[in-house]
């Protein structure tokens, strides 16, 4: 599969959605996978380094901890960039507008072809579940995502969206979809150390049967599209593309992490296409 690289570094600034801290980030060309650097330490963007999955994907190794990596990882994966050095001033990636579009818009003009990358190929079905929620990977020659959600909030409800990386338009159909959450839970989350930087500028706030954001939704199924965006970013922690169909229902970061652990838990589940 075609691999791309960055021609030069790009910098962005914003606020951390959970920490509330001002954050600056530089994404530069790399040679050893995607690595995050902060406070003199570094951590590889790998499922093996996932240390927390509540409301965001957190990676940690050797005392270096980086929160909310999924949106940048989603954009990098969609662009085919599998080597990058990401330097942070702050505890987490900036949330920007709650989607992957600001990352994609900044990075896309700077990518160039850089040979090939060997993808992982799913050889047999692998799945994980939690109650009626599940995530699975099925053998395929494509990178296809099939994501279903089911929320009690009437404005979200039951929805399903499909997308194929490399064929469908990520920039148009997936990257703009924003993170979301119930307005009534914001204060409770802040008391627990989450959502301190959340606002209507960087998240879709659901208030019962309505969306609180004055501009409304970007897509009628924006909630499902964002879950798909997250899934692309979480599966990018494999370190290379995965040839297979990802299928989920009511899944999130935790099940995505468990799915990667299950996939790589047996050599009979996958092969590397050299």
CB-based contacts of 99, cutoff 8 Å, min separation 6: 71, 175, 176, 177, 178, 179, 226, 229
pTM of the model: 0.96
Instruction: Give tens-digit pLDDT for 39-59.
Output: 999 999 999 999 999 989 999
By the 8 A CB rule, do 170 and 164 touch? Answer: no
pLDDT of 187 higher than 70? no
Where are the domain boundaries for CATH 3.30.230.20 in the chain?
A: 2-116
Helix (H, G, I), strand (E, B) or coil at 266: coil
**Structure token digits, residue 135:** 């995530």
The per-residue pLDDT of the chain, averaged, comes to 95
pLDDT in tens, 205-216: 998 889 999 999
Radius of gyration of the chain (CA): 18
Pairing status of strand 120-122 against strand 242-249: parallel
188 pLDDT more than 90 = no
Opening angle at CA 227, ends 122 and 232, nearest 5: 40
pLDDT of residue 76 exceeding 90, the answer is yes
Q: In this structure, which CATH number among 3.30.70.240, 2.40.50.100, 3.20.20.70, 3.30.230.20 belongs to the domain 2-116?
A: 3.30.230.20
pLDDT confidence band for 199 (50 / 70 / 90): confident
Q: Which residue has the tokens 């954001």?
A: 213
- Check residue 18 and give its pLDDT: 83
Stretch among 93-102, 175-184, 233-242, 249-258 having the lowest mean pLDDT: 175-184
Q: Which residues, 6 or more positions from 19, have their beta carbon under 8 angstroms from its beta carbon? A: 67, 90, 91, 92, 196, 197
Distance (Å, rounded) from C-alpha 139 to C-alpha 106?
33
How far, in Å, CA of 197 to CA of 19, rounded? 6
Tokens of 204: 């879709």
With 80 as the cut, is the pLDDT of residue 116 above it? yes
Active site residue 37: no
Q: Which residues contact 207 (CB under 8 A, 6 or more apart)?
A: 182, 183, 184
What does the pLDDT look like over 122-155, one tens digit per residue? 999 999 999 999 999 999 999 999 999 999 999 9
Q: Which residue(s) pair with 80 in the sheet? A: none
pLDDT at 225 over 70: yes
What pLDDT sits at residue 241?
98
What sign does the CA torsion over 184, 189, 35, 14 have?
Answer: positive
Catalytic residue among 18, 71, 249, 253: 253
Place domain 120-272 in its CATH homologous superfamily: lpxc deacetylase, domain 2 (3.30.1700.10)
Q: Considering the chain, tell me which residue range(s) the CATH 3.30.1700.10 domain(s) occupy.
A: 120-272
Q: Can you tell me which residue has the tokens 């090939």?
A: 116
Any idea what DSSP says for residue 47? G
- Both tokens assigned to 121: 């190929």
Q: Where are the beta strands (DSSP E) in the chain?
A: 2-6, 10-15, 22-29, 34-38, 41-44, 50-52, 58-61, 64-66, 84-89, 111-116, 120-122, 126-130, 133-138, 143-150, 158-165, 180-182, 204-207, 210-211, 242-249, 270-272
């Amino acid at each position: 599969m075609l691999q791309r690289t960055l021609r030069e570094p790009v910098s962005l600034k914003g606020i951390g959605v959970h920490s509330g801290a001002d954050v600056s980030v530089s994404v530069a060309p790399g040679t050893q996978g995607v690595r995050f650097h902060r406070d003199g330490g570094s951590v590889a963007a790998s499922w093996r380094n996932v240390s927390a999955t509540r409301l965001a994907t957190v990676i940690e190794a050797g005392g270096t901890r980086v929160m909310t990596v999924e949106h940048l990882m989603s954009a990098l994966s969609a662009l085919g960039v599998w080597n990058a050095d990401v330097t942070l001033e702050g505890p987490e990636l900036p949330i920007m507008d709650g989607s992957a579009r600001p990352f994609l818009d900044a990075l896309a003009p700077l990518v160039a072809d850089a040979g090939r990358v060997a993808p992982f190929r799913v050889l047999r079905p692998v799945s994980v579940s939690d109650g009626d929620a599940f995530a699975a990977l099925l053998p395929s020659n494509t990178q296809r995502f099939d994501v279903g959600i089911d929320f009690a909030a009437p404005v979200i409800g039951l929805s399903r969206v499909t997308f194929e990386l490399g064929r469908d338009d990520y920039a148009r159909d997936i990257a703009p979809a924003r993170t979301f959450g119930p307005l009534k839970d914001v204060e409770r989350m802040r008391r627990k150390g989450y959502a301190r930087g959340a606002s209507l500028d960087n998240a879709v706030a659901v208030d019962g049967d309505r969306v609180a954001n004055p501009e409304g939704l970007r897509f009628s199924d924006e909630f499902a599209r964002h879950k798909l965006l997250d899934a692309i970013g979480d599966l990018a922690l494999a370190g290379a593309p995965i040839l297979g169909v990802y299928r989920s229902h009511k899944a999130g970061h935790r099940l995505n992490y468990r799915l990667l652990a299950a996939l790589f838990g047996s050599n009979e589940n996958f092969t590397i296409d050299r």
